[in-house]
Amino acid sequence: MCHGGWCFEQLTEQLRTRGHRVFPLTLTGVGERVHLRHGVNLDTHIQDVTAALAAEHITDAVLVGHSYGGMVITGAADRAATRVSALVYLDAVVPGHGDSCFTLVSEEERRWYLDVVDTGDAVRPLPFFDPRATAHPLASVLQPLTLTGDLGHIRRRDYVYAAGWETPSPFTATYQRLRDDAGWTTHALDGGHNLMRDAPEDLLRILLDVAESH
């Protein structure tokens, strides 16, 4: 939420130097695309990903979703099943059919979502966010996810949990549940929510393992 593809810059460069194709996306209506905010919802963001996959002729993709991005990669994997093979949830929500980001987070997170800008259509960025962060379309966190399948085509699902939150993490219960699920590979890293900033080397190792495993 509120950020752009630029927050993955370090990881993007490191993965590319190792021969991987990497496409960090800024979702419609946030970051440098904030001027497109009107009318944006979760479906818009899912289409951002599926359109990029099609335009770049990508198959066997590893989709990485940070925080709210878990909603987006789940929907994209459902709608572009022939193009996606693995999912990495980076301290993120893990939705099922009918879930919204709003229903999956803590009460503290929901209070933040409802602290909207004057126009009423977007969530304010928090004070400690990157200075490039912008307001985030409110409809995208309120809209329930519609899934058409069971994502059975996904060869691997990883959950990367940030163990270094200064406040109670809204993702602890999710991590604990998935840790005991044989269908998932889980990791706990010593860093805050923005693991791409706090634990880039550990995250790089995980992403390389996912990309290179078959």
Residue pair 134/125 in contact by the 8 Å Cβ criterion: yes
Tell me whether residue 125 is exposed, middle or buried, using C-beta atoms within 10 angstroms of its C-beta: 0 to 12, 13 to 18, 19 or more.
Answer: buried
- Which of 182, 210, 214, 213 shows the shortest CA–CA distance to 65? 210
Q: How far is CA 29 from CA 84, 163, 168, 170, 189, in A?
A: 24, 30, 29, 25, 30
**Which of 67, 72, 66 minimizes the C-alpha distance to 42?**
72
**Any catalytic annotation for residue 67?**
yes
| Catalytic hit among 67, 85, 140, 169 | 67
**CA-closest candidate to residue 49, choices 67, 23, 11:** 23
Give the active site residues.
67
